[in-house]
Amino acid sequence: MNDQAGNIRALRRRSGLSQSEFAARIGVHQTAVSQWETGRTAPDSATAKKIAKLFGTDIGYILGVSYVKEAVRIPVLGSVAAGIPMSAVEDILDFEEISAETAARGEYFALRIKGDSMEPKISDGDVVIVRSCSDCDSGKTVIALIGNGEATCKKLKKTSEGIFLISMNTAYEPIFFSNRDIHSLPVVILGAVEELRAKL
């Protein structure tokens, strides 16, 4: 296996994506990914740019001609509770590494998921990499605090009347919060999930 094949394979695995999921993200067939990872073929420059953007690295690394810049460690939190600044959270279970390029785009933390509400995509015990932000686009998977509870991972859907927090597991009903609820409870968006580090 050459450097290019090994780099692509390592990035995909570190992100918790299967070959078919990775292929779908960049618009190619799963067989193409398999061939890249065994070194039989290589992505063209346009596809390499898509891969670099997806994983937050430089195109040279995808092409096997450079190395990822020094990684940045971020804490893996077991829980996030209302009223406690991120810098003061003591429930740190572990640390994960993100690329320097990713870290330069904002503040990040990692959260270990509890429960099965986001299955089959995100399972109990998985770790998600989260970019801190107070507002996210509709359709994004977010980490939100509801009232005085712990943080929850849900898909966000915005409407003119309020927001829905939606589980991927259809056994759980979507939860609606009116604009009034958002301010009175409150409902606070802590960040957007950008990457999944699935457990083996």
Measured distance CA(102)–CA(52) in Å, rounded: 11
pTM over 0.85: no
DSSP annotation of 85 reads -
Q: Which of 20, 34, 132, 154 is catalytic?
A: 154
- CA 49 to chain centroid, in Å, comes to 19
pLDDT by 10-residue block (mean), the chain, 200 residues: 81 88 94 92 90 84 66 83 54 86 84 92 92 94 89 95 96 96 94 86
Residue 60 CB partners (closer than 8 Å, separation 6+): 66
Q: List residues bridging with 154 in a β-sheet.
A: 142
Q: Which of 166, 189, 164 is nearest to 117 (CA)?
A: 166
Residue 88: predicted pLDDT: 47
Query: Is 117 tagged catalytic?
Result: yes
User: Could you say which architecture CATH assigns to the domain 72-197?
Assistant: Ribbon (2.10)
Measured distance CA(41)–CA(162) in Å, rounded: 49
Q: Which of 151, 156, 150 is nearest to 175 (CA)?
A: 156
How many CA atoms within 13 Å lie on the side-chain side of 103?
Answer: 13
**How many secondary structure helices (H) and strands (E) does the chain include?**
7, 9
Residue 80: predicted pLDDT: 67
Residue 32 CB partners (closer than 8 Å, separation 6+): 23, 41, 43
- Do the beta carbons of residue 147 and residue 99 sit within 8 Å? no
In the structure encoding, which two tokens stand for residue 92, read together? 């740190």
Q: Which of 15, 99, 117, 167 is catalytic?
A: 117
Residue 90: predicted pLDDT: 61
Query: Is 199 tagged catalytic?
Result: no
Residue 62: predicted pLDDT: 85
Domains of the chain by residue range: 3-62, 72-197
* Residue owning tokens 């986001």: 118
- Do the beta carbons of residue 50 and residue 39 sit within 8 Å? no
Residue 200: predicted pLDDT: 58
Residue 189 CB partners (closer than 8 Å, separation 6+): 133, 134, 135, 136, 142, 143, 144, 156
Which homologous superfamily is 3-62 in? lambda repressor-like DNA-binding domains (1.10.260.40)
